[in-house]
Amino acid sequence: MRDWQNYLGLPLWVWLFVMPAALAALCLFQREKMGRILRPLWRILDKVYFASGVVAACFMVMILLLIVAQMIARWSGWVFPGSTEYAGYSMAATSFFALAHALTRGAHIRVSILLNINNFFKFWLDGFAMLIAAVTATYFARYAIKTNFMSEMLNDRTQGQDFVPEAVLTFFQMFATAPWNWGTLWANSESGWVYTPMWLPQLPMSIGSILLAIAVWDYLTRLLVNRETSIIGEAVE
Amino acid sequence: MSELYATAIFLFVLFALLGSSVWIGLALMGVAWVGMELFTSRPAGDAMITTIWTGASSWTLTALPLFIWMGEILYRTRLSEDMFRGLVPWMRWLPGGLLHTNIAGCTIFAAVSGSSAATLTTVGKMSIPELRKRGYPEHMIIGTLAGAATLGLMIPPSLTLIVYGVAINESITKLFMAGIIPGLVLAGLFTLYIFGWHFFSKGQRPDPEPHMSFGTMINESKFLIPVLMLVTVVIGSMYMGFATATEAAAVGVIGSLCLAAMQRSLNWGTFSASLMGATRTSAMIALILMGASFLSLAMGFTGLPRALAAWIDEMQLSPVVLIAALTIFYVVLGMFLDGISSVVLTMAIVEPMIRQAGIDVIWFGIFIVVVVEMAQVTPPIGFNLFVLQGMTKHEISYISKTALPMVGLMMLMIVILVAWPELATWLPDNIRKGP
């Protein structure tokens, strides 16, 4: 296991894979107790997933506006530099932010043929599938974050003609800086526009994949506590 | 470990994960990870994110959520009633009567929606009760609807074709244009089938429609005008080269918002419902595409695509035999997977194969759509069957039996496509260049 440095004395993979799996196992054996502990958390998380779905929807509207602006610009002979890049970033943002929300509403598809054999089989197979899915999603999130950090460290910039105001970058950097350094941060920030650094559009990828991983683990615990799936699919679309 | 063992493990994991009902997108990621670990010493995780990020933030893909959104808006309008009313005056004269509203309705709605399920629900929620009321036999109502709704995948805009175009890096506009004529031919085949039913089973005919004056006919058909205008603008702008597929999608969204506003069915509730619904569906497809892009990277390292292409080359298979074999392969795959998944899952392997055999990739896109259409109405897993089961409460087995003649017609369509490939390739070769 290269690439999994220690964190608080334990290898990272223990934190990411073993701990949540242990939590899931607890849910399997201590249904009542874990149910009581986790239920308030579930309520909060449901709101978080929905909120991230709403953010995704906003980015979808953003794609529409960007493309309309680009068309108007083209017809009237103006130039809208980087419009395709901005639309691409919005596309990524709408996909990633909606992943968890889509999961909770049963929008993601699966081959359900073996799930319909009988209820006992369904429970165990569903649990197994969700465990695999949770591990995969966690792996995905872990590397999404790593790539995001690497983009920032290497100061990876866009290949296209898209710019962002430096103030926006500074705003997001505030989250990674201690509050007492915010003054220096803003003092060093220029007021111009710079080529988009890749870490900014990659933020939705990190956030979305973390939420997806949390959502899968979350719904696994719900399955194990409730003994039936909590994913309620809406009308097939 | 020998190459062969590794390949066997890889394929086993693929089927095990898909079969054990892991969500398809995540299952593909998991399989791809296994492939990377087996076949290369590259760091799998970093390669995974680079591939996924490039794919997920691509400009070409932006057509997908917009076309989904457009379909979602129209689905929530009164379009289905309007279309039925507008079509009745024209269909009542034909042999087979109002059954043709199923075909014509699906064809028109397919031209504004990229999904077969949306086409089915939109047309069916009006035509099923109306046709039942008029005494048409149940098996004809359901069968023709199940078959015709698959046109949603073929007639542009088509989500399957967008996904196919993104997977093999071909122009989506070209693929869309390629779908028009075969889509109309297939609709024609369904229509002929209804004619045939009319003449061969006289006992099942319902009473003829009451007389309708010419004035009423014209008056009723005005309900078709908005949707036909929308179709013209969306497809026309692509054909004339005014707009790319994505831009046409944006025009389509705005057009359908206007249409909904004109019908007074646009309010905050329907707007947000359509937006959230579209967000979910597009995230669902995006997750599959993410998994698939990582899988095709891993697939490249396994050497499987190259080996198969070389094998096909060695066998000296004629394209016709290859297409026949692929038809069977996709029909079997389609019994268990939905259309988009089976396209993205196989493209990494099939693309070098068809390029090697000298098959036109645009034509192949249309071929694959017909096969995927068949998969939509064949048991045990057929999406249209589930939707129809929800709408009519019939057994899956009954619905698939009624749809069987349509599957036959789609088979015939493949033969037609092989015999006259120009049906698919002529229009895309003649798109006007933009101003």
Q: Is the pLDDT of residue A3 over 80?
A: no
B residues 22-61 closer than 8 Å to A (CB): 22-27, 29-30, 33, 43, 45-46, 48-50, 52-53, 56-59, 61
pLDDT at B432: 65
Report the DSSP beta bridge partners of residue A193.
A165
Which residue of A lies nearest to B45 if distances are taken between CA atoms? A143
pLDDT band of A111, cuts 50, 70, 90: confident
Count of beta carbons in the 10 Å neighbourhood of residue A31: 14
Largest CA distance in chain A: 67
Asked if A87 and B62 come within 8 Å (Cβ–Cβ), the reply is yes
Asked if A91 and B341 come within 8 Å (Cβ–Cβ), the reply is no
**What is the number of helices (H) and of strands (E) in chain B?**
22, 0
How far is residue B245 from each of residues A149, B59, B182, measured CA to CA in Å?
34, 11, 19
Asked if A94 and B117 come within 8 Å (Cβ–Cβ), the reply is no
* Mean pLDDT within A151-179: 87
Percentage above 90 pLDDT, chain B: 52
A237: closest CA of chain B, how far (Å)? 6
pLDDT band of A236, cuts 50, 70, 90: very low
Percentage above 90 pLDDT, chain A: 55
Angle, nearest 10°, between helix axes B396-419 and B138-149? 50
pLDDT at A2: 58
Cβ-based neighbours of B241, under 8 Å, separated by 6 or more = B431, B432, B433, B434, B435
pLDDT at B126: 87
* Mean pLDDT within B114-127: 88
Percentage above 70 pLDDT, chain B: 99
Which residues on B lie below 8 Å from A68 (Cβ)?
Answer: 250, 254
Asked if A60 and B286 come within 8 Å (Cβ–Cβ), the reply is no
Asked if B62 and A136 come within 8 Å (Cβ–Cβ), the reply is no
A79: closest CA of chain B, how far (Å)? 16
pLDDT at A206: 96
Q: Is the pLDDT of residue A232 over 80?
A: no
Task: Quote the DSSP letter at residue B202.
Answer: G
pLDDT tens per residue, range B296-323: 899 888 888 888 888 877 888 788 999 9
Q: Is the pLDDT of residue A121 over 50?
A: yes
* Mean pLDDT within A212-232: 91
Higher pLDDT, B265 or A90: A90
Asked if A142 and B280 come within 8 Å (Cβ–Cβ), the reply is no
Tokens of B328: 């069977």
Q: Is the pLDDT of residue A237 over 60?
A: no
Output the average pLDDT for chain A: 89
pLDDT tens per residue, range A204-217: 999 999 999 999 99
pLDDT at A1: 45
Closest CA to B24 of B277, B284, B283, B343: B284
pLDDT at A235: 42
Q: Is the pLDDT of residue B252 over 90?
A: yes
Q: Is the pLDDT of residue A79 over 90?
A: no
pLDDT tens per residue, range B9-45: 888 999 899 989 899 999 999 999 999 988 888 888 9
Q: Is the pLDDT of residue B1 over 80?
A: no
Report the residue from B23, B118, B281 with minimal CB separation from A133: B23
